[in-house]
Structure 1
Amino acid sequence: MNKTLIPDLRKQRGWTQEHLASKCNLSVRTIQRLEAGDDTSLETLRLIAQAFNVKVGDLFESISDNAKGSEIKTMNDEQITQMKKRKEESKLIRNTIQMLFILAMMIFGYLLSNSSYTSVLGIIWVFLWPLGFYAIKLIKIYYIDPKLDKKYPLTINIK
């Protein structure tokens, strides 16, 4: 029998079995079976790991079934690989957007220095900096993260 940590993780968060089931879109009976150590699909394990923000391998203290252990290890390794790739790609995209924003602000600053509306444009320029960083954050949340979730599905909600 596999020794699962699901009840411990659930209780640490103060969740009921019903709450965990609703977060994972699973039945309460499925959660009860898992907590009792019954076998389940890797997809179900992925949903539960995603709800807890952990890797699939972190759901178990020990796995006595060699075949299932091998599947879980493979999925865990794939999660780690996807997490590394996602982090690298996210950093590259974020840096590119930041550099484009800084370039745009430099161009705006240049145009500002050659304008007859320097004082008005100067005020706008000062306020554009924080708005730009806020816009970058929104782009990350609403555009980049969903794209990366689709590309690296095993990393959704895992920090």
Structure 2
Amino acid sequence: MNKTLIPELRKKHGWTQEHLASKCGLSVRTIQRLEKGDDASLESLRLVAQALNVKVGDLFESVSDTQKGRDIMEINSNQNNQIRKRKDEFDLINKTIRMTFILLMIIFACIMSRSQYVSILGMIWAFSWIIGFYILRLIKIYWLESYLDKKYPLTKNLN
């Protein structure tokens, strides 16, 4: 028998069973069955784990050596692999975006230095750094995270 930690995790968030059900897109009855430790589909477990921001394996105190337990451990292993790949890809894309921005700012500075409007372009250049960092942050939040959520679905909402 797999000892579930779902009630404790749900209460830690301060959620009712109804709230958790709505976050997962599952019925309240399904949440009640999961909290009792009744058998559930891996998809239901994945949805609950995603809503609670934990890995599927973290929904259980212990996992028995049954087929269901092995399935839970496999999805947990898959999540760990996707977390690692997502972090590596995030770091690579993030560095590439930052380096591209810095390169563009250096090119702009070179163009500016050859212009007769150095003071005006200098103010624009300085302002561009500030705006650029906000734009980079928005790219990470609205594009990169969404892209990685689609590519690595088992990592969605996991820190």
- TM-score normalized by the length of structure 2: 0.97
Residue 121 of structure 1 pairs with residue 121 of structure 2? yes
Match of 1:106 in 2: 106
Calculate the aligned-residue CA RMSD, in Å: 0.9
2:138 maps to: 138
Matched, 1:95 2:95: yes
The corresponding residue for 1:30 is 30
| Structure 2 CA distance for aligned equivalents of residues 64 and 129 of structure 1 | 55
Number of residues of Structure 1 aligned to a counterpart in Structure 2: 159
Please tell me the residue identity of whatever aligns with 2:63.
I
Cα offset, 1:65, TM superposition: 5.5
Structure 1 gaps, min length 5: none
Pair 1:18 & 2:18 matched = yes
C-alpha distance in structure 2 between counterparts of 1:126 and 1:157, whole Å: 36
Q: Is the 8 A contact 1:2 1:65 kept in 2?
A: no
Q: CA deviation at 1:135?
A: 0.8
* Deviation string, structure 1 residues 97-146 (Cα, Å, up to 9, x no partner): 00000000000111111111111111111111121111111111221111
**2:156 corresponds to which residue?**
156
Number of the residue aligned with 2:5: 5
TM-score, normalised to structure 1, is: 0.97
**Which residue identity does 2:104 align to in structure 1?**
A
Give identity over the alignment, percent: 65
